[in-house]
Every structure is written in C-alpha cells, then in structure tokens.
Homo-oligomer: A and B are copies of this chain.
Amino acid sequence: MKHIHSAKNPQVKHWKKLLTKKERDKSGTFIVEGYHLVEEALKANKILELIVGDQVELPQKWNYGEVPVTTVTSEIIKELSDTEAPQGVFAICEQEKVLASNQVGKTYLLIDSVQDPGNLGTMIRTADAAGIDAVIVGNGSVDTYNQKVLRSAQGSHFHLPVLKGNLREWVEKFRSEDIPLYGTALENGHIYTEIEPTDRFALIVGNEGSGVSKELLEETNKNLYIPIFGKSESLNVAVATGILLYYLRG
C-alpha cells in the first residue's frame, strides 16, 4: 500500500485537477468522493485506484481485491474534497466511451444542453430508476463527471451507461435501428399521453430555458409536450423527464 504525505506530490496534483473538466477529458478518468459513491463504483467494478485518508477505516464488507490503494494525509483529503465535511474516501474511475456490445439497448434518454448539475444528476438517477438502457449526454451540457452531477446521481453513473456524445450521430443510429425518437417541445407537439407506451424508444430532453435545439426537434419522429394545467410557465426539466420516462416505458 502506497502512502503519500505531501500535498505537492505530482500524483496529488493530478487528482486535484480531476475536479476540472479539462483534466478529466485529458486523462479519460474522473474522481468520485464519499462512501456511497465509492461503494457503488466498487460494486460495479469500475475503480482504477482507491484513495483513503490515513485516519479512515474502510468498511469490512468492501472487497477491493486487486485495486491499488493509496493512503494520504488529512491535509491531502482536504485538497481533493469538494465537500465541507470530507469522508476521506475517493476513487479514480475510467470514463465510459462507447456502449459495450452487451449494452446495446432499446430505451435511451438523450440530454441536450442541460446546464444545472443538480438537474443533470437527477435526470441520470431518474433514467436509472425507470430502467432506461443508456443515457447520452450531448456536448453542450454540463460535464457528466462534475462533482455535483455525480452527487445528485447518487451512483447511477455506475448502474447504466452514461455516455457523452454527439446527439446528431445517435439520431442516425436510432433511425437505422427503427427506434422511435421523441423530442420534447413546449408547443407544436403532441400531448405525451397520445403516444402508446412502448418497449423501444429514445427521448430527447433539453436545456432549462430554451428546451431541445430546433435542429434536433426536426429529426424526431414526434415531439411531445406535458400540458401545464395551472399557471406555472413550465416544469423543471428533471421532473418532466421523470413524467415522460415513466409514462413511455408503461
């Protein structure tokens, strides 16, 4: 077991930089923090490296087998942490790049330019709960591996494939595989309950203010909307995603 005691160690500097999108993209990895997320990563066999405070005891039930463990000082824990009361446990994980051949699915959630990390994380968690096969996050969204996104998703990143990608390319794929593609629009669409629930679909939801981009809405089979019965202008995008996914999957 390796021990690092200096916050100036280059390894520590690299881990700390994983709090930025730039370093995550460069390395193809990301960092998760806290018992719950690390445990979910462990269960899913997704950990490249464990980082543990030298004062921290890992749960007996954790079976981390061959995963390399580095212990660090509480000063380094504070450097790496994105929270006010760090639990002193981190994991470095590999970003998912493509669907594995056993992950080819029938139901997809596509996310176009969602900006709020809490919303994006909640949407990933909701897709997981609804049993969706994969989430595709378009390039204009907040980074999928942002610490707040990871926290809000509560481990769902390790439960289903969550890929970054070019949504236009995915649209081609759905068309070639005859998977019906539904956009979401505030107007000029169909009330969602007009659609029959189905076991194959891809749903696109979009930005908090402007919705799904016009270019994507022109590529869909149908565009759906959720009626507003009261006086609010709209629904929160994560709430709308939940209503639509649970309806569509039937």
By a beta-carbon cutoff of 8 Å, the part of chain A in contact with chain B is: 118, 122, 125-132, 152, 154-156, 159-160, 226, 228-236, 238-243, 246-247, 249
Chain B residue contacts of A234, Cβ below 8 A: 129
Can you spell out 9 A-B residue pairs with CB atoms less than 8 angstroms apart? A126-B236, A129-B229, A129-B230, A131-B229, A154-B232, A156-B232, A229-B249, A239-B241, A242-B243
Instruction: List the B residue with the shortest CB-CB distance to A234.
Output: B129
A148 CB → nearest B CB, Å: 12
Are A128 and B230 in contact (CB-based, < 8 A)? yes
A184 CB → nearest B CB, Å: 14
> A226 CA to B240 CA in the complex, in Å?
16
Are B132 and A230 in contact (CB-based, < 8 A)? yes
Oligomer copy total:
2
Chain B residue contacts of A155, Cβ below 8 A: 232
- When A129-B234, A156-B232 are in contact, do A226 and B239 touch as well, CB less than 8 Å? no
A135 CB → nearest B CB, Å: 11
Q: With contacts A128-B230, A154-B232, A242-B243 known, what are 18 further pairs, Cβ within 8 A?
A: A118-B118, A122-B239, A125-B236, A126-B235, A129-B228, A129-B235, A131-B230, A152-B236, A154-B233, A160-B230, A160-B231, A226-B246, A236-B238, A236-B242, A238-B239, A239-B241, A240-B242, A246-B247
A145 CB → nearest B CB, Å: 18
Are A129 and B246 in contact (CB-based, < 8 A)? no
Chain B residue contacts of A230, Cβ below 8 A: 127-132, 156, 159-160
> A249 CA to B126 CA in the complex, in Å?
21
